[in-house]
Structure 1
Amino acid sequence: LINSYGPTETVITSVVQDCAAYLQGDLPLPAQMPIGRPLAGRHCHVLDANLSLTPPGVPGELYIGGPLLARGYMGRAGLSSERFVADPFDDAGGRLYRTGDLARWNSAGQLEYLGRTDHQVKIRGFRIELGEIEARLLALPDVSAAVVVALAAPGGSQMLAAYVAGAPGAAPDAQELRAVLAAQLPDYMVPSSLTVLDALPLNANGKIDRKALPAPDWDAGQRYEAPQGAAEQALAAIWSEVLDLERISRHDNFFERGGHSLTVMKLAAELRQRHGVSIPLRTVFESPTIAALAAIPALQGLNGSANGDLAAIDALLAELES
C-alpha cells in the first residue's frame, strides 16, 4: 500500500510513503499517515510567508521543485507567474511550484499533509491554520474524522467551530475533546464549539462538505452560573450588549464567547459611560471572566442599577427554567 501525493503541475506523483511497515506492525500506526518523502527529480520545501524554511513540526506552504515541473499554464501567463516562482535556494535559477497545500516535516523527515492554505483564518488578530487543529483532533484515538471552520457568532465575531465523527465503537465527548485541545494549543486556537456527528457530510468528490455542516450551538456544554452581586450583574449587562448574547455566565471567557480587541474597547467605554470607571484594556485580557473582572478593586464598587436588576431577573428566570 502506497500513500502518494502530487499535483498535476509537478507531473502527478511527487511524494510517496510506503505504508507496509505500518500495516505489518513494524511501526506503530500513526493517527495521521504521512505523505512521505520526495521522489527522484523533485525536491520539497515547507516555507512560511517570507519564503523561509520552517523547522520540523511547524506548518507552512508546500513548494515543489526540480526538472520535472510543468512549464506553466497554457495561455495563462499571470497564473503561471503566480504559481511557478523562482527557487530562492537554487543558484542555478530553478523554479518552485506553490501547491497551496499546508504541510510540515515530522521528526522522521517525512511530510505530513495538513490541508489547504486557503483554510487559514484570523481569529482575535492571530492567524490560524485550521489544518493544525484538525490534525490534533485526528490524533485522538476516539476521532475518525474532523473538520474545523470559522463562522460568524452572535455579535458578528469570527469563532472556531469543530466537528468530529467518532471512531468505530467510540463515543467522543465534546467537552473532553475541548479540554484536550486546551492543554495542547493556545486559547485562541481552541474551538468555541465542538459538535460530535455520526459522520461528516461529504460532497460528490468524497471530500468534507463544509457548507453542509449543521450550525453550531455556541452555548452547548457551557456551564452556566448566574452572576453574583451588583458588580458581576453590571458587568454581565454590558457583556450581553457588546457580545450580543442573551445569557452570560460568571465564568464565561470573554474571548471564547466572541470578544476581541474592538469589543474590549467597547466594554471599557461602556464602563466609563455607565459607571464612571476606567480600566486599562489589558485588564480584560488578564481577567477575561466576569468573576475575575469583578474582583478587581476598581470594579468592586459597581452598582448594577437598572441594568443590574434586569440581569438579576434574567438570572432568576434562567435558574427557574433549569
Structure 2
Amino acid sequence: MRQKTVDHPRTEPTADPLENLSDNDRLLFHAFGWGESRPVPHTLVHHAFEHHAAAAPDAIAAEHRGERITYGELNRRADRLARILAGYGVRRGDRVGLFLRRGIPMLTGILGTLKAGAGYVPQDVRIATEPQLRHIIATAGTRVILTLSDLADRIPAPEGHTCLTLDTLPDPPAGPAPEEDFPPPEPGRAEDTCYVLFTSGTTGNPNGVRITHGNVCNILLGEPGGLGIRPGWRVAQLLNIAFDMAAWEILGCLSHGGTLVIRDEDLADTVREVEVVIATPTVLGSIDPASARRIRRVAVAGEPCPRPLADRWARLCTFHNACGPTETTIVNTMQRHEPGALRLTIGRPTPNNTVYVLDEHRRPCPIGETGEMWAGGAGVSAGYLDNPRLNAERYAPDPFLPGNRLMFRTRDLGRWTPDGELEHLGRTDDQVKVRGFRVELDSVSAALEVVPGCTRAATIKLDDRTLVSFVQPTAVDPVEAAAAVAAALPYYCVPARVYPLPALPSTSRGKIDKAALLRIARTEGIAA
C-alpha cells in the first residue's frame, strides 16, 4: 500500500532543442509557452481548508438537501476520521478508496483521508461496475475503503480489506479527541498523493493517474484557477466525483472559504443559488442562463466549447474556457473569454506551467503552425499506476525545462495565435480518414455550431466514406446545417446526414457520448 515511484524514460536532451526555429520564433516559444512564475501559499491542499476553518469556524462549508455543515464542524469530523484511519494502519503515502455518492460525508472522507497523509481514490458506486471497482482496488492498492451504509453491500472488498461507513462513524467530540486514542499522521509533503483518478483505458480497464498535492495546490490556490472564490461565495458541486473537474469544484471551494452547494437530482435548482459553476460544455448547455442570474464565474473544460455557448455566458458573467487532461491536473490553460473576441481559444498556460506545440519529432512548430500540445511544469502528474508501457508512451523528459522535469503528451492538436493564445484544434485520435482525406471531427462540429439555433453538435465516422453529424435541438434545419459545413470546409468534410436531437447524449462525466451516437446512427439506419 506504500506509494511507489514511477519510472519514466530518460534521454539526453539535444544541444539546442530550438534549433529548427527562427530567431523570432525562439523568443515567442518562451514568451507564449511559459505561464507566469508565482509562489504557491500551501504545499498541502487541506492546509488551505484548515486556514479557513481556524479563521471562520462558524462559516458554512457545505450544504446538501437542507443539511449544512460549518467549517469548524467539518474540520473536527475530518480530524476524527484521520485518527480512525491511522488506527486502521493508514499511513503517509497510502491510498484510501472513497466509494460513495455525493453528499457531506464525501467531504469528511476527502479531508480525513488527506489529513491522515493518504490520497483518496473516488468512485461513484452507483455508476461504476463491480469489475471496474475490483480493478481499481487492486491497482490503487487500497486496504481501507470509505463508503455509506446503504452502499456497503456493493463494494467488492477483497479479504483483508476494511470498509468504514462514514454515516455511522461516531460523532466528533466537542473538543479534540485524546491524542493517545490514535497515532498522529506523519507530516506530509508536496510530492505526496492527493488523489488517484481512473481514466478510460484502451484495454477496457481504466488507468489510475496519481495527482500530488503540489499539482493541486498549483492550479487551485492561485489565479485564474482559483476563479476568484472568496469566503461566502457559493460554489456548485455538479459533477461526478470520479471526474477530475469535481476536485476543482470541491477543493477549489473549500480551499478558499466558500460554501459548496452539493446538487441533488435537479441541477437547475442548484445553479440558481450559486456564484460559481464549473462544468463541461455539455453540462453547461443544459442550464438556462436566464434562471442563473446570481452566477459570477463560469469555467468550462473537458471537451471543446461551442462559441455560441461561450458568448451566451460571457455576456452574463466572467467566463473561462479551459483545457487540460487529467494527467496535467484539472486544466493547464485558461482564457477569459469576451463575447466580442476575435476567436474563442483555450488561452495561455496557467502559472508555473508550460505548453509546447511540437511536431511528430517533438520539435517546436513555428508559431502559427499546427502541432501536438505537450504540457510541462508544475501541473504534470506523477504518472500512471502500474503501467510502465503507458508511462513511457505519454510522459517524456522535458528538454525545455531544467532539472530532469517531465512533459506530458496531451494528444490535443493546437497552434499559437499571433497574440500568444492557444487554439484547440481537436485531438489526434479525433483525426479520421474519409475518402482518403484527413478530417478533424471537431472542426466539422464547430462549423455546425454556428448555424442559427444550434446549441451543440457532434460528428462521428461511420465508414471510410461516411460522416454523420448530430445537432441539438430538433428545431435545427439539417439542410441548412449541412450547407454551413459545405461553405466552411472541403467537400469530404460534409456529413452524409445531419440528425437533429432534443439533446445530445452525455456520459456520466458530462461529456458527449459518441458511442451512444453511433448506436443511434445504426438504429436509425443512417449508415445506409
User: Given the two structures, how large is their TM-score scaled by the length of structure 2?
Assistant: 0.35
**How far, CA to CA, are the matches of 2:521 and 2:415 in structure 1?**
31
Report the alpha carbon displacement of residue 218 of structure 1 after superposing the two structures with TM. Answer: 10
Partner of residue 340 from structure 2, selected from 28, 32, 46:
28
Matched, 1:160 2:489: no
Report the alpha carbon displacement of residue 82 of structure 1 after superposing the two structures with TM. Answer: 0.7
The superposition leaves residues 115-142 of structure 1 with CA deviations (integer Å, 9 ceiling, x where unpaired) of 4322221112222211121222223343
1:97-246 correspondence to structure 2 within 5 Å: 97-152=408-463, 157-166=464-473, 171-213=475-517, 214-215=520-521
Q: Could you say which structure has the greater relative contact order, defined with CA pairs below 8 angstroms and 6 or more residues apart?
A: 2
Q: Between the two proteins, what is the percent identity of the paired residues?
A: 38
**How far, CA to CA, are the matches of 1:51 and 1:190 in structure 2?**
32
Matched, 1:64 2:375: yes
* One-letter amino acid matched to 1:159: T
Report the alpha carbon displacement of residue 72 of structure 1 after superposing the two structures with TM. Answer: 2.9
The superposition leaves residues 41-93 of structure 1 with CA deviations (integer Å, 9 ceiling, x where unpaired) of 21112334343545667654321112542343343322111101244556876
1:27-106 correspondence to structure 2 within 5 Å: 27-28=339-340, 33-54=344-365, 59-87=370-398, 94-106=405-417
* One-letter amino acid matched to 2:439: I
Instruction: Assess, with a 3 A threshold, how the Cα gap between structure 1 residues 207 and 70 changes in structure 2: closer, same or farther.
Output: closer
The superposition leaves residues 222-265 of structure 1 with CA deviations (integer Å, 9 ceiling, x where unpaired) of xxxxxxxxxxxxxxxxxxxxxx98xxxxxxxxxxxxxxxxxxxx
Instruction: Assess, with a 3 A threshold, how the Cα gap between structure 1 residues 135 and 58 changes in structure 2: closer, same or farther.
Output: farther
**In 1, are the aligned partners of 2:457 and 2:471 still within 8 Å (CA)?**
yes
**How far, CA to CA, are the matches of 1:70 and 1:34 in structure 2?**
24
**How far, CA to CA, are the matches of 1:86 and 1:42 in structure 2?**
15
The superposition leaves residues 13-52 of structure 1 with CA deviations (integer Å, 9 ceiling, x where unpaired) of 3112224xx2xxxx4167x843221012211123343435
**How far, CA to CA, are the matches of 1:99 and 1:57 in structure 2?**
19
**How far, CA to CA, are the matches of 1:143 and 1:55 in structure 2?**
35
Report the alpha carbon displacement of residue 109 of structure 1 after superposing the two structures with TM. Answer: 2.9
**In 2, are the aligned partners of 1:161 and 1:216 still within 8 Å (CA)?**
no
Instruction: Assess, with a 3 A threshold, how the Cα gap between structure 1 residues 108 and 196 changes in structure 2: closer, same or farther.
Output: farther
2:226 is matched with which residue?
A: none
1:231 is matched with which residue?
A: none
Matched, 1:14 2:321: no
User: Given the two structures, how large is their TM-score scaled by the length of structure 1?
Assistant: 0.54
**In 1, are the aligned partners of 2:332 and 2:379 still within 8 Å (CA)?**
no
Corresponding pairs, count:
208
1:251-290 correspondence to structure 2 within 5 Å: none
**How far, CA to CA, are the matches of 1:57 and 1:137 in structure 2?**
24
**In 2, are the aligned partners of 1:104 and 1:112 still within 8 Å (CA)?**
yes
**In 2, are the aligned partners of 1:150 and 1:159 still within 8 Å (CA)?**
yes
**How far, CA to CA, are the matches of 1:218 and 1:188 in structure 2?**
22
Report the alpha carbon displacement of residue 175 of structure 1 after superposing the two structures with TM. Answer: 1.8
Extract unaligned runs of 5+ from structure 2. Answer: 1-296, 300-319
Instruction: Assess, with a 3 A threshold, how the Cα gap between structure 1 residues 200 and 58 changes in structure 2: closer, same or farther.
Output: farther
Instruction: Assess, with a 3 A threshold, how the Cα gap between structure 1 residues 8 and 178 changes in structure 2: closer, same or farther.
Output: closer
**How far, CA to CA, are the matches of 2:449 and 2:377 in structure 1?**
32
* One-letter amino acid matched to 1:9: E
**How far, CA to CA, are the matches of 1:217 and 1:183 in structure 2?**
29
Report the alpha carbon displacement of residue 181 of structure 1 after superposing the two structures with TM. Answer: 1.4
**How far, CA to CA, are the matches of 1:204 and 1:83 in structure 2?**
25
Secondary structure in 2 matching 1:215: helix
**How far, CA to CA, are the matches of 2:482 and 2:505 in structure 1?**
21
Q: Find the structure with the greater CA-based Rg.
A: 1
Instruction: Assess, with a 3 A threshold, how the Cα gap between structure 1 residues 42 and 90 changes in structure 2: closer, same or farther.
Output: same
* One-letter amino acid matched to 1:138: E
* One-letter amino acid matched to 1:150: K
**How far, CA to CA, are the matches of 2:477 and 2:360 in structure 1?**
36
**In 2, are the aligned partners of 1:195 and 1:216 still within 8 Å (CA)?**
no
**How far, CA to CA, are the matches of 1:15 and 1:33 in structure 2?**
13
Once structures 1 and 2 are overlaid, which stretch shifts more, 109-118 or 53-62? Answer: 53-62
The superposition leaves residues 136-183 of structure 1 with CA deviations (integer Å, 9 ceiling, x where unpaired) of 22233432111110003xxxx4411111114xxx93222222222112
**In 2, are the aligned partners of 1:103 and 1:115 still within 8 Å (CA)?**
yes
**In 2, are the aligned partners of 1:59 and 1:132 still within 8 Å (CA)?**
no
